[in-house]
Structure 1
């Protein structure tokens, strides 16, 4: 179902990428296009047809049956700013929670044909027209680590300084990428992503992808991300050995 959902969203998104789009402003000032809405509608229609008892949480159309045992979590275009400016650093996120915990995650880049699929207890798979293999790389010291973050202004008050401590200790920092950066962690190209103020549709699909590739995803206190308790602060690591050093700087 996750693959079918991504295929349905991609069929909507690809014709609109780098086309003239009407861009509106959401309440949080992030851009939204008809591509976001139409892609989420396409996924919801599939789920309603095939899995009507499952719950759904989506960025564009809210929640249905959020207290169900199985809940799909959707972000039709994660990285809308990249999408509307023609950069292929966005992606469709399809996550599945079982009793609030992420058990399946898919990252799809419909413009490049890259797709990551993570399922709890199984190795992450990666497919792309130009090849590549899922698998995080060893990196036990922050001084050797490639750090990534979507934007320097995404942190809640008081947390920017904590992030800067990690940034100062890392080898190098790159900005931008949204969900694509997490996919690169699962390919062994980025070692750490630290972000804040994320919503469930931003992180639910990412956890199984990275952990199935050998990495680790927690909040800033080292706790698992679970619906209802996660506060939007996320640490994604390619090498779990980095966790104590990173958490000490974020404490």
Structure 2
């Protein structure tokens, strides 16, 4: 899905303020749990979930329901409310729970907004480092944080010079691993780990390519406006727009000129 053709309209400021207030509320819940003894329950898809995930999503939902009752809400932990709504918030209260429970500050809180199914607003927030990316369709991405960095992807038209990232090899199966390895062999370097934080780094020009599988809509809805507003592109591995009912592949590029080279290696055969 491309955010480029969508617009928040006259409700822009209200919706953005609501998203940021919800992010702040979630961060206040998540921070006290960081690097503390924390039990993790394994869900049906083998991913972990903690009390911090659930409490943060409940806090986000309560605030969104109060301030934007006209919007639907879809969250990783508690499902879909008001499916008929044209505007739908999409939540991942802790993207990167494995990183969170092992004390690594590479997780993030994600809030995205869809308008008629298209991502039009996205926020990536790292509540420990204080870094935040804000993407709105048709606007440049904004980044704030204490360590420097400016929103904007970097020029990298040559695959051999590219930095490639993927959260974990466990995302890859027998059919997709060879395709990823073909891409890996063509780039300058590959790094593992990062979850949504890696997408934030791509939006800062630190990473050039992210190729991942098994992604749900709450994993990518907030990322699309951030990356596109920074000058990048987000598609599936076949170069097609992301869809909620798609194959779960996500390809993020800092320089769209890499698209043909990368999708030739990754596309289903």
Shorter-chain TM band: over 0.9
| Cα deviation 1:210-236 (Å, max 9, x = unaligned) | 0000000001111112334x3210100
Question: For 1:65-110, what per-residue CA distance to the aligned partner results, in whole angstroms no more than 9, with x for missing partners?
Answer: 2342101100000000000000000000000001111111100000
Q: CA deviation at 1:156?
A: 4.2
- What residue number does 1:91 align with? 108
Distance in 1 (alpha carbons) for counterparts of 2:24 and 2:101? 20
After TM superposition, list the pairs within 5 Å mapping 1:162-241 onto structure 2: 162-228=179-245, 230-241=246-257
Residues 220 and 235 in structure 1, CA contact (< 8 A), matched pair in contact too: yes
Query: For 1:153, what is the secondary structure of its paired residue?
Result: helix
Structure 1 distance, partners of 2:250, 2:218, is: 13
Task: Count how many residue pairs are aligned between Structure 1 and Structure 2.
Answer: 250
Partner-residue secondary structure (3-state), 1:139: coil
Residue of structure 1 in register with 2:71 after alignment: 54
Which residue matches 1:8?
25
Partner of 1:249: 265
Partner of 1:112: 129
Spell out, residue by residue over 1:159-209, the C-alpha distance to the aligned partner (whole angstroms, 9 max, x if none).
111111111111100000000000000000000000011000000000000
Q: 2:59 matched to which residue of 1?
A: 42
Aligned to 2:37: 20
TM-score by length of 2: 0.91
CA distance in 2, matches of 1:79, 1:9: 15
- Alignment counterpart, residue 140 of structure 1, candidates 133, 157, 160: 157
- In the other structure, the counterpart of 1:65 is 82
8 A Cα contact 1:149 1:174, kept in partner: yes
Distance in 1, Cα, partners of 2:121 & 2:258: 24
Distance 1:181 1:39 in 2: 22
Contact kept, 8 Å, 1:215 with 1:239, in 2: the verdict is: yes
How far apart are residue 35 of structure 1 and its match? 0.3
Alignment partners' CA distance in 1, 2:144 and 2:204: 11
* RMSD value, Cα: 1.0
1:79/1:179 contact within 8 Å kept: yes
Q: Structure 1: which 5+ residue stretches go unaligned?
A: none
Q: Which of 13, 21, 33 is the matching residue for 2:50? A: 33
Return the alpha-carbon distance in structure 2 between the equivalents of residues 198 and 243 of structure 1.
19
Q: After the TM superposition, list the runs of 4 or more consecutive aligned residues in structure 1 that deviate by more than 6 angstroms.
A: none
Inter-partner Cα distance in structure 2 for 1:149 and 1:130: 23
- C-alpha contact 2:71 2:87 (8 A) present in aligned 1: yes
- Find the aligned partners of 2:149 and 2:171 in 1 and give their Cα distance: 30
Question: 1:25 deviation in Å?
Answer: 1.3
